[in-house]
Homo-oligomer: A and B are copies of this chain.
Amino acid sequence: MANYNVVPLQRLVEQFERLPGIGSKTAQRLAYFVLNMPEEQAKEFSQAIIEAHEKIRRCEVCCNLSDREKCPVCSSPTRDRSTICVVETPRDALAIEGTGEYKGTYHVLHGVISPLNGMGPDQLCIKELLARLNNAEVSEVIMATNPTVEGEATAMYLSRLFKPLGVKITRLAYGIPVGGDLEYADDVTLARALEGRSEL
């Protein structure tokens, strides 16, 4: 393994191998690509990693990632503060934001309740959400956790926790994905789609 004795290269390959979905062949290809970059670009890349770590923190309101005290959504004057969409991760918030249909605010839990992975309610940003709900402003909480066992359990846990506060709690609709095929939909999804049918 000739090049594997080239320590700095090998170290760079290992760094790429750590990333999700990057196998050893891809890691090698990426490492060589970075090595062939102009030095200026490599420095930018290296700097971007450090800066992301140093400058990004959690929004003090919704716990989403931000480079200021409040994230752009929470500091926007045009967003509807009476609706909070609860998501597992910042990327989920980004996905909903991508639809362009949602005008309320978000709350990022940074995980789901998952005893197997050692994640209890205390590890999630639930305290911050409770603080927001104690504000009279909020009228609806949309549970937008993933439709997995853990996501469901978290949504159930939170809705029980929030019931006494008298806030309306909703859940994203389940059903056949748009453009999907009934034939290929799984039983559970199909059953949920039937259950949640609406009048035309």
Contact = CB atoms under 8 A, between A and B. Distances in A.
A44 interface: yes
Enumerate the 10 nearest inter-chain pairs by beta-carbon distance, A residue then B residue, closest first. A5-B72, A46-B49, A46-B46, A8-B55, A12-B52, A12-B48, A8-B52, A2-B97, A15-B45, A8-B51
Contacts of A46: 46-47, 49-50
A9 interface: yes
Interface in A50-105: 50-56, 64-67, 71-73, 89-91, 93-94, 97-98
A131 interface: no
B67 A8 contact: yes
Q: Give the size category of A's interface with B.
A: 35 or more
Given A2-B93, A5-B72, 7 more contacts: A2-B72, A3-B90, A6-B65, A8-B51, A11-B51, A34-B52, A35-B52
A6 B49 contact: no
A37 B15 CA distance: 12
A31 B52 contact: yes
Q: Residue among A37, A53, A72 with the most chain B CB within 10 A?
A: A53
13 contacts: A2-B71, A5-B71, A6-B72, A8-B55, A8-B67, A12-B51, A14-B48, A15-B44, A15-B45, A20-B33, A28-B91, A39-B53, A42-B50
Contacts of A45: 15, 18, 49
Given A8-B56, A45-B49, A98 B3 contact: no
